[in-house]
Structure 1
Amino acid sequence: MTLIRKTVVILVIVSIILLLSLCQISNLIFMDNYLLLENQYASLKIEQVSGAIDGQLSSLSILCQDWAVWDNSYLFMADHNQEYLDSSLTESICSSLNLYTILLIDNNGEITAGRTYDQNRDVHISHSLSLLQHFDPESTILTATAAGGNIKGLLKLPQGTLLFSAHPILTSDGKGPAAGTLFMGRMLDKSLISKLTATTHIAFSISDYNAYQAGEDISIIKSKHGEDIICEVLDENILACHTLLKDIYYNPAAVLEVDLPRDIYQQAQASFNYFSYAIILVIILITGLIIILFNKLILNRVRLLSSKANEISCHQDLSIRMPVIGQDEVANLTHNINLMLDEIESAHHQLSASQQQYQQLFDSALSANYICTPDGNILLCNPSFLDLLGYRSFEEASLMSAWNLFHSANKNAILKKLQQERKITNSERIIYDNQGRPITILENITGIFNASGELIQIQGYMIDISERKQAEDKVKYLSFHDKLTGLNNRSYFEDRLERLNKVVHLPLSLVVIDVNGLKLINDALGHERGDELLIKVARVIKQSCRKDDITCRWGGDEYMLLFPSTSSAIASVICDRIKAAIEHIEIQGLQVSASFGMMTKDDPDQDIRDILRRAEEKMYRNKLLQHTSNRNAVITSLVRTLLSKSHETEEHTQRLKDMLAKMGKYMQMPESDIDELILLALLHDIGKITVPDSILNKNTQLTESEWEIIKKHSEIGYRIAKSSSEMAPVAEAILYHHECWNGTGYPLGLKGEAIPLHSRMLAIADAYDVMTQGRPYKDKLSIQEAVQELRNCSNLQFDPELVEIFISSQVFAHNEHCSDVIVSDHPA
Structure 2
Amino acid sequence: MDDHKMHSSKKSKAASALLTGFARLSAVPDKSGNIRDFLFTQASPSFEKFLPFRRTSIVGRTLTEIFRLLAGSQDDRLPMLINAALQYGNVEFDLYFARQQRWVNVIAFCDEQQTMSLILYDRTIQKNAELLLNDEAQKMRQLFNSNIDAIIVIRQSDWRIVDVNDSFLALSSCKRDELIGSSTAELFLFPNGNGHQALAEEIERTGWIDNVEIQIRKKNGATAASLISATTILFGDEPHIYFTIRDISTRSSDHEALVISEANYRRLFEAAKDGILILDAESGKVMSVNPFLTDLLGYSKEQILEKSIWELGLFKDILANRDKFLELQSKEYVRYEDLPLQTADGRTAQVEFVSNVYLVGKHKVIQCNIRDITERKRLETALEKEKRIYEITLISVGDGVISCDNQNRIVFLNKAAELLTGWEAESAKNQQLETVFSVVEECTRRVRSRITNQANEDEPVLERGLHILLISKFGIERPIEYTVSPIIDETGVTVGSVVVFRDFSEQRREEKKIEFLSYHDQLTGLFNRRFYEEELNRLDTKRNLPIAIVMGDVNGLKLINDSFGHLAGDELLKKVAIVMQTACRADDILARLGGDEFVIILPKTDTKGAEQLIQRIKDRLENEKVGAIDLSVSFGYEVKANETDSMQEIFKSAEDHLYRHKLSESMSMRHQTINLILNALFEKNPRELMHSKRVGEIAEQMATQMGLSEETIHNLKTAGMMHDIGKIGIDESILNKPGRLTDTEWEEIKRHPEIGYRILNTVSEFSDIATCVLEHHEHWDGKGYPRGLKGDQISLEARIVGFADAYDAMTTSRTYRSALDEKRALEEIQRCAGTQFDPDIVQLFTDEIWNSAIMRE
Alignment TM-score, normalising by the size of structure 1: 0.49
- Select the structure that is richer in strand: 2
The structure that is helix-richer by fraction is 1
TM-score relative to the length of structure 2: 0.48
User: Which structure would you say has the larger Rg?
Assistant: 1
